């Protein structure tokens, strides 16, 4: 693995394509069954697609937008872009009008868009209204786009199963691998949601991505040395779904073919995958961990147990740790960001589960510096709260097309997260500074109050959001989901907060919610995190403020 430092992603693709070439590289499961891409398949098909891209005029260092779901074709498209020496950009669409992907392609000066013309509600159907087709073709079209002047081609990548038309369409005798790419060149542009409603573009080099993978593998300890496969259904275009383990270790990855659709019995489907593929390491969201643990009949239908569950993206909860001894031997919590890569991890087993504390994220990964600062950017003492800053080789150099959004401060990346480090250098993350609520002369960080309210019997989940107030700027609204059978009124919840929070705060700082709204479910983002902005809008609409 140490050889990665002087290599690119293309070098790793070529290496594994020639090393035990018939070994599985990616295994996709869907309601149609199992589909395997071997290491040789990955190299062969990707290099053939790279040739097609070069024939269309894609040059070294140019950005290519890939708007495909997780599927075998997505793997080949992504790696084909790398073999062509170009930069793969995630074609994320969050707005139904497609303005966000159009703006992203404009900022990145994309020349080519890869999409499935037959995908329902896909990038082509959403964005085609912005294009004028100048020359049509079977596998691609020349286009003109006033809003994205750099955009010249749309490459069609049909993902319908079981025809695999895209793979059969690739040239059989022509392959291409660009040998001019350097480790310091940008390899991937990830997308992350922005406060303006448009995505931010986060570039990372070949070296940074391979370094991030190495850091994660090191933090896994013995689990990383003894593994051979990993289950991870996160989108391939996200930083958490990037194929680090295949590129660095040659592990095969098991994931769901999203172009076919997820079966209705999702958790049973996941557990069957674990058993059929003999999965020992899985990357799961917290709701998947808790869901499988709660359905004992699923787990006991086949005698299987994981060695390690990796999770992240949300605060680690005790409910996830209940999986230790039942679903898995250990849970590794990874804290990081699209911009900074891996920051901290901590692994819990039966022998150290007593060390768990709310908001714990663990200790800095190898090569990562972490500090907590006050509003003057001065580092605070242990247990003092402030903003979290990070410095490492994996931090992005800035946002493409938005130089004024740079969060770097003298080499330190401002995460926008709030928290503290204890005397042992263990980091605790308590929320986002952007979630702060201006409540009169005071600033309230909602996660603090959410933790208090979570202790109320009968409350399953709660989120604190701001709603407009003419005097205080914002009032506090508690959005509450009750446990089945629970009967709580607004007054019950407000009275509980008065008793729970009153002893910990100054009397002048009234953090008792003025409003309580009850929800059956909460809106979520594609990342499975709660969409606080949408939730706040729903609360305002209900309250008619």
- Tokens 């674990």 locate to 274
In a domain, 375, yes or no: yes
**Is residue 506 very low, low, confident or very high in pLDDT (cuts 50, 70, 90)?**
very low
Q: What tokens were used for 496?
A: 């509980």
Query: Over 50: is that where the pLDDT of 407 sits?
Result: yes
Instruction: Assign 3-class secondary structure to 280-321.
Output: CEEECCHHHHHHHHHCHHHHHHCCCCECEEEEECCCCCHHHH
Q: What is the DSSP letter of 480?
A: E
Query: Domain check: are 423 and 525 in the same one?
Result: no
| Of residues 172, 167, 175, 185, the one with CA closest to residue 86 | 185
Q: What pLDDT was estimated at residue 527? A: 65
In a domain, 282, yes or no: no
pLDDT in tens, 434-462: 777 877 656 677 877 888 899 999 999 99
The mean pLDDT of 188-202, rounded to a whole number, is 76
In a domain, 389, yes or no: yes
Instruction: Give this prediction's pTM.
Output: 0.82
Query: Domain check: are 390 and 523 in the same one?
Result: no
Query: Domain check: are 463 and 365 in the same one?
Result: no
From 147, 179, 204, the end of a domain falls on 204
Q: Which of 34-43, 79-88, 467-476 has the lowest mean pLDDT?
A: 467-476
Query: Domain check: are 89 and 149 in the same one?
Result: yes
Q: What pLDDT was estimated at residue 218? A: 92
Query: Domain check: are 406 and 491 in the same one?
Result: no
Query: Domain check: are 131 and 191 in the same one?
Result: yes
The mean pLDDT of 229-250, rounded to a whole number, is 94
Domains in the chain: how many in total? 3
Query: Domain check: are 130 and 198 in the same one?
Result: yes
| CATH number of the domain that residue 378 is part of | 2.30.38.10
Query: Domain check: are 54 and 182 in the same one?
Result: yes
Query: Over 90: is that where the pLDDT of 99 sits?
Result: no
From 204, 225, 240, the end of a domain falls on 204
Q: What tokens were used for 284?
A: 């799961």
> Measuring CA to CA, how many Å separate 68 from each of 308, 430, 489?
29, 34, 45
Percent of the chain clearing pLDDT 90 (strictly above): 63
DSSP string for 192-203: E--TTSS-EEEE
In a domain, 268, yes or no: no
Query: Domain check: are 106 and 199 in the same one?
Result: yes
Averaged confidence pLDDT in the chain = 89
Instruction: Assign 3-class secondary structure to 66-95.
Output: EECCCCHHHHHHHHHHHHCCCEEEECCCCC
The mean pLDDT of 97-124, rounded to a whole number, is 90
Q: What pLDDT was estimated at residue 441? A: 56
In a domain, 453, yes or no: yes
| CATH number of the domain that residue 501 is part of | 3.30.300.30
Query: Over 90: is that where the pLDDT of 375 sits?
Result: no
Q: Kindly report the CA angle at 526 between 520 and 530, in degrees rounded to 5? A: 40
| CATH number of the domain that residue 49 is part of | 3.40.50.12780
Query: Over 50: is that where the pLDDT of 196 sits?
Result: no
pLDDT in tens, 482-496: 999 999 999 999 999
pLDDT in tens, 112-171: 999 999 887 788 888 888 989 898 888 999 999 999 999 999 999 999 887 788 999 999
Q: Which of 235-249, 257-271, 505-519 has the lowest mean pLDDT?
A: 505-519
Quote the domain boundaries for residue 535: 436-543
Query: Over 50: is that where the pLDDT of 508 sits?
Result: no
Query: Over 80: is that where the pLDDT of 500 sits?
Result: no
Query: Over 70: is that where the pLDDT of 475 sits?
Result: yes
Q: What tokens were used for 335?
A: 């804290």
Q: Which of 51-65, 124-138, 234-248 has the lowest mean pLDDT?
A: 124-138
**Is residue 424 very low, low, confident or very high in pLDDT (cuts 50, 70, 90)?**
very high
From 403, 433, 463, the end of a domain falls on 433
Q: What pLDDT was estimated at residue 503? A: 44
Phi, psi of 217 (to 5 degrees): -65, -40
Q: Which residues pair with 419 in a beta bridge?
A: 386, 429
Query: Domain check: are 429 and 440 in the same one?
Result: no
End-to-end CA distance of the chain: 58
Selection from 193-207, 379-393, 503-517 with the highest mean pLDDT: 379-393
Query: Domain check: are 198 and 134 in the same one?
Result: yes
In a domain, 452, yes or no: yes
In a domain, 415, yes or no: yes
Q: Which of 174-178, 237-241, 299-303, 351-355 has the lowest mean pLDDT?
A: 299-303
Q: What tokens were used for 139?
A: 């596998």
In a domain, 103, yes or no: yes
Query: Domain check: are 378 and 510 in the same one?
Result: no
């Amino acid at each position: 693995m140490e050889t990665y430092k002087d290599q690119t992603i293309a070098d790793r693709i070529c290496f594994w394509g020639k090393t035990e070439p018939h070994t599985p590289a990616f295994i996709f499961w869907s309601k149609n069954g199992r589909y395997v891409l071997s290491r040789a398949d990955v190299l062969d098909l990707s290099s053939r697609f790279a040739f097609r891209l070069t024939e269309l005029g894609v040059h070294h260092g140019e950005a290519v937008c890939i708007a495909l779901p997780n599927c075998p074709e997505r793997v080949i498209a992504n790696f084909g872009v790398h073999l062509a020496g170009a930069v793969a950009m995630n074609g994320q669409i969050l707005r139904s009008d497609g303005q966000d992907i159009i703006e992203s392609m404009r900022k990145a000066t994309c020349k080519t868009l890869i999409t499935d013309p037959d995908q329902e509600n896909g990038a082509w159907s959403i964005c085609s209204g912005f294009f004028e087709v100048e020359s049509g073709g079977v596998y691609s079209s020349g286009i003109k786009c006033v809003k994205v002047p750099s955009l010249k081609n749309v490459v069609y990548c049909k993902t319908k199963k079981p025809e695999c038309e895209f793979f059969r369409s690739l040239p059989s005798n022509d392959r291409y691998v660009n040998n001019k790419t350097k480790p310091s060149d940008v390899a991937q542009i990830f997308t992350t949601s922005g406060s303006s409603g448009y995505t931010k573009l986060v570039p990372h080099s070949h070296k940074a991505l391979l370094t991030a993978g190495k850091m994660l593998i090191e933090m896994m300890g013995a689990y990383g040395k003894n593994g051979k496969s990993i289950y991870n259904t996160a989108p391939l275009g996200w930083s958490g779904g990037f194929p680090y383990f295949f590129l660095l270790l040659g592990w095969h990855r098991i994931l769901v073919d999203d172009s076919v659709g997820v079966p209705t019995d999702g958790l049973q489907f996941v557990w069957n995958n674990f058993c059929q593929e003999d999965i020992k390491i899985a990357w799961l969201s917290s709701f998947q961990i808790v869901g499988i643990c709660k359905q004992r009949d699923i787990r006991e239908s086949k005698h299987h147990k994981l060695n390690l569950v990796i999770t992240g993206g949300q605060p680690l909860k005790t409910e996830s740790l209940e999986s230790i001894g039942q679903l898995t031997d250990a849970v590794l919590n990874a804290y990081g960001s699209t911009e900074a890569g891996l920051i901290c991890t901590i692994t819990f087993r039966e022998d150290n589960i007593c060390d768990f504390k709310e908001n714990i994220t663990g200790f800095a990964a190898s090569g990562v510096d972490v500090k907590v600062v006050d509003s003057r950017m001065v580092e605070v003492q242990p247990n003092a709260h402030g903003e979290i800053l990070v410095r490492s080789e994996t931090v992005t150099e800035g946002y493409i097309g938005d130089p004024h959004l740079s969060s770097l401060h003298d080499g330190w990346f401002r995460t926008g997260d709030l928290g503290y480090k204890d005397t042992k250098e263990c980091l605790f993350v308590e929320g986002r500074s952007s979630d702060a609520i201006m409540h009169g002369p005071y600033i309230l960080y909602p996660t603090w109050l959410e933790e208090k309210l979570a202790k109320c019997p009968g409350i399953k989940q709660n989120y604190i959001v701001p709603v407009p107030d003419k005097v205080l700027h914002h009032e506090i609204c508690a959005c509450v989901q009750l446990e089945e059978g629970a009967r709580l009124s607004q007054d019950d919840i407000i009275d509980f907060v008065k008793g729970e929070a009153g002893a910990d705060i100054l009397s002048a700082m009234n953090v008792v919610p003025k409003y309580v709204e009850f929800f059956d479910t909460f809106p979520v983002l594609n990342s499975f995190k709660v969409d606080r902005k949408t939730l706040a809008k729903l609360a305002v609409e209900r309250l008619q403020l």
